[in-house]
Structure 1
């Protein structure tokens, strides 16, 4: 009886794990093993996200609420895995250099597939968007970057969101994930 129960629990666990995955609106970029991977996207494939309160929540701390206007356009989602003792630089570059894109990404456990706006917390969240003013000694181009480091022996999921200001619901871009 114990053996049957053990086998049944094992099958249930394996089945549960295999069902855990990203929703269909997330393009999965398989774990980046090589130097870099580039995928193409278009804001037209995304949807507007009305609720951005998750981003300013102290459990996520992705971007402050007064930056919300920079994320009011369509959101397109990608996901990847960050392996142990790895650093990833994730960037988005519009095909049209004058386009205004924003990027955010958050890291969560390898068995966690939680999506925004229903994100109660994450390990870390980073965002990059167009500056409101010039910074002395710095120049901003159309490419946006976020960076993640994983010094642990564990693997984590990273969800990436590409967005734009209100009214911009179309625009091609390249998403690059570079392993360091």
Structure 2
């Protein structure tokens, strides 16, 4: 019985490690736009997405989970005080459907272990025009703000509908508000 329990725990640990996406450190500087090129194959799927529609995060709603089922590539950076950070995702191949989310705060936690964050924004495919995006295309964009103190920022680039590979450019622009 003990051997079976140990083997089961070893298997579950290996499964958790196999599904942990890589995290890449980025430097975002106020007053600059920086571009980073990457491939979704550097990430891994996150099968438990319930953290995103938890009311303490409110990143995206459960009916939109199909847009976040592929590989997740995670990036860490920081937003300085009195700043706005605009993060733009541009897939190299416009036919590849990718999504993006970014959250500030979170105490260093990564999905799916993110219990709460200061703010979280997500952008994914929209087949109809909206007030904020009159002409939907293959690019995605989110925006975060910091006021009186800096916050750690985690950015997730994700393949929609199980997409596991595809190159993209991540553009980060930080502007000071004061």
Aligned residues: 155
Of the three residues 116, 123, 144, the one matched with 2:118 is 123
Which has the higher Rg, Structure 1 or Structure 2? Answer: 1
Residues 28 and 174, structure 2, Cα contact 8 Å, conserved in 1: no
Calculate the TM-score normalised by the size of structure 1.
0.81
Structure 1 unaligned residues grouped into runs of 5+: 1-22
Tell me the distance in 1 between the aligned counterparts of 2:141 and 2:81.
Answer: 21
Q: Deviations over 1:119-139 (max 9, x none)?
A: 110000000000143447810
SS at match of 1:66: helix
* Structure 2 partner of 1:158: 153
* Structure 2 partner of 1:144: 140
The alpha-carbon deviation at position 87 of structure 1 amounts to 0.6
SS at match of 1:70: helix
Tell me the distance in 1 between the aligned counterparts of 2:57 and 2:130.
Answer: 26
Residues 89 and 147, structure 1, Cα contact 8 Å, conserved in 2: yes
Structure 1 vs Structure 2 CA RMSD: 1.8
Residues 98 and 142, structure 1, Cα contact 8 Å, conserved in 2: yes
SS at match of 1:93: strand
Structure 2 unaligned residues grouped into runs of 5+: 1-19
